[in-house]
């Protein structure tokens, strides 16, 4: 019984100490926003009609999933020129979403249809 009492007292002391440390920490948070900058290092052509939903860049090639009912595609694109090297059009009832490469296979997901294409 004595061991349980000692453990309970130790637990209460630990909890109270933690609460006191939180309450006594009066250092104000730094609220000054950080200012970030950027540099454009390159510009690449992209099909302005492509409603991009997913991108994967692997081995110098861009894989792009586009979405819109009746216009969804999976594209293999040359990054430097924007040339579409290969295009697969999804059936009209699917809205293309994200794309990834898993175990050397391209996987494209659809929106709301709960389907994926490999």
Q: Per CATH, is 52-117 categorized as 2.40.10?
A: yes
- Angle at the Cα of 37 (from 35 to 40), degrees rounded to 5? 165
- Residue bearing tokens 């391209």: 106
Domain chopping of the chain, boundaries: 52-117
Tokens encoding 78 = 């040359």
Query: What does the pLDDT average to over 35-57?
Result: 92
Residue 87 vs residue 15, higher pLDDT: 87
Report the range of poorest mean pLDDT among 63-72, 80-89, 109-118: 109-118
Residue 111 burial (CB < 10 Å; 0-12/13-18/19+)? middle
Residue 9's pLDDT band (cuts 50, 70, 90) = low
Q: Residue 5 pLDDT more than 70? A: no
Residue 76 vs residue 17, higher pLDDT: 76
């Amino acid at each position: 019984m004595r061991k349980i009492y000692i453990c309970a007292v130790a637990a209460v002391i630990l909890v109270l100490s933690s609460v006191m440390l939180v309450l006594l920490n009066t250092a104000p948070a730094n609220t000054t926003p950080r200012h970030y900058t950027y540099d454009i290092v390159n510009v690449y052509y992209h099909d302005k009609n492509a409603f991009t939903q997913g991108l994967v860049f692997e081995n110098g090639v861009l894989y792009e999933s586009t979405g819109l009912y009746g216009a969804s595609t999976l594209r293999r694109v040359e990054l430097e020129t924007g040339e579409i090297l290969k295009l697969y059009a999804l059936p009209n009832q699917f809205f293309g979403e994200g794309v990834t490469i898993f175990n050397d296979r391209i996987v494209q997901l659809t929106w709301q249809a709960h389907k994926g294409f490999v």
